[in-house]
Amino acid sequence: MPLNNKTIVLHELIGLDCRIMKSSDPSQKGISGRVIDETKNTLILETPQGIKRVVKKISLFRFRSGKESFLVEGEEINFRSHERIEKALKFYKKRKL
């Protein structure tokens, strides 16, 4: 599946560069690093300051793949990675290319 603004919510996130653009937890805003693991409710990032766990639901993420970047609301990806394809379809349908 090609990675674009619409398919990012269905895509594997591990390995992508990520930055937290907004969060209701001020300590999480601005964290950036590479996604190394994922749970249902969190992304685990490897940052220059060490490993950071970020809550998905309360954050706005910018994922980078090569030169492209995609903004994703945490609610759109707040699923286990193997459940995302079936559960994130409602968000996939709303997103624009």
Question: Do residues 26 and 57 lie in contact, with contact meaning Cβ atoms separated by under 8 Å?
Answer: no
**What is the average pLDDT value for the chain, to the nearest integer?**
93
Architecture of domain 7-92: Roll (2.30)
Q: What is the pLDDT of residue 82?
A: 84
Q: Report the pLDDT averaged over residues 55-64.
A: 97
CB atoms within 10 A of CB 76: 22
In this structure, which amino acid lies at residue 58? I
Sequence-ordered list of residues with C-beta below 8 angstroms from that of 25, at least 6 positions apart, any chain: 55, 58, 59
> In which band, very low, low, confident or very high, does the pLDDT at 94 lie, cut at 50, 70 and 90?
confident
Q: Report the pLDDT averaged over residues 41-54.
A: 97
- Residue showing tokens 């674009």: 4
Q: What is the pLDDT of residue 41?
A: 96
